[in-house]
């Protein structure tokens, strides 16, 4: 059966590559991003891989409850169900904690953690009604081991791991599986914008990680499992 997949933060990087991977495998995908011009460009590129009816472009802010509710409702109206939710939208700040502003802290926590919470809260009742569904939360290697200058990012990604485990526990017996994917550093704009000067040859490619995420969706592993992807 082809799946209906909703992917947040999917106009570029990991999210875009993951959308392409599912589309290439015959699934129908709703991409979601904050900036409509970026989303339209991503949709144009993805439309080369699939029939137009297999792709839905949606826009909004993962931090806003109203936007999340609206997008989920639109996906249900367009596709009729949601089989897989991939919470991928994320931002990062690389600064010592004493130089991290409250505004920066809130932006990272609200995007990475609150956004995951809002989408999961909206989609879990849908999946319970369907008696099936998969939620994949994109955390990070820094979601299980802290590193200097990543206070907000690590806090958010540790939170995503904890939220994944809570959701798995709460949805036992419902037909829903909840997983977290914990990648190492990935060759994306998010990484380069931090100015870390890493060697691109040592980074995971978004396309490689997308294949691993696709595999997780079909793994039928125990709910709550953490999938580390470091190489």
Where in the sequence numbering do the catalytic residues fall? Answer: 153, 157
Contact 11, 39 (CB under 8 A): yes
Contact 118, 62 (CB under 8 A): yes
DSSP code per residue over the chain: -PPEEEEES-SSHHHHHHHHHHHHTT-EEEEEES-HHHHHHHHHHHTTSS-GGGEEEEE--TT-HHHHHHHHHHHHHHHS---EEEE-------B-GGG--HHHHHHHHIIIIIHHHHHHHHHHHHHHHHT-EEEEEE--GGGTS--TTBHHHHHHHHHHHHHHHHHHHHTTTTTEEEEEEEE--BSSHHHHHTT----GGGSBPHHHHHHHHHHHHT--PPTT-EEEE--
Q: Which two tokens stand for residue 202?
A: 């040592």
Distance (Å, whole) CA 73 – CA 161:
26
């Amino acid at each position: 059966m082809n799946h209906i997949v909703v992917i947040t933060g999917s106009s570029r990087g990991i999210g875009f590559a993951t959308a392409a991977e599912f589309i290439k495998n015959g699934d129908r995908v709703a991409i979601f991003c904050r900036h409509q011009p970026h989303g339209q460009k991503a949709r144009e590129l993805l439309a080369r891989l699939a029939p137009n009816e297999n792709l839905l472009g949606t826009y909004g802010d993962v931090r806003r409850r109203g936007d999340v509710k609206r997008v989920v409702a639109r996906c249900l109206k367009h596709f009729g169900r949601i089989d897989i939710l991939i919470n991928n939208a994320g931002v990062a700040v690389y600064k010592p904690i004493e130089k991290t502003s409250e505004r920066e802290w809130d932006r990272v926590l609200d995007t990475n953690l609150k956004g995951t919470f809002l989408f999961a809260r909206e989609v879990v009742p849908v999946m319970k009604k369907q008696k099936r569904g998969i939620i994949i939360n994109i955390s990070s290697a820094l979601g299980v081991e802290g590193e200097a200058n990543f206070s907000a990012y690590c806090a958010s990604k540790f939170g995503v791991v904890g939220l994944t485990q809570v959701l798995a526990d709460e949805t036992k017996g419902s037909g829903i599986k909840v997983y977290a994917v914990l990648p190492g550093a990935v060759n994306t704009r998010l990484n380069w914008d931090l100015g870390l000067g890493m060697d691109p040859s040592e980074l995971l490619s978004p396309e490689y990680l997308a294949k691993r995420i696709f595999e997780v969706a079909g793994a039928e592993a125990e709910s709550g499992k953490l999938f580390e992807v470091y190489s």
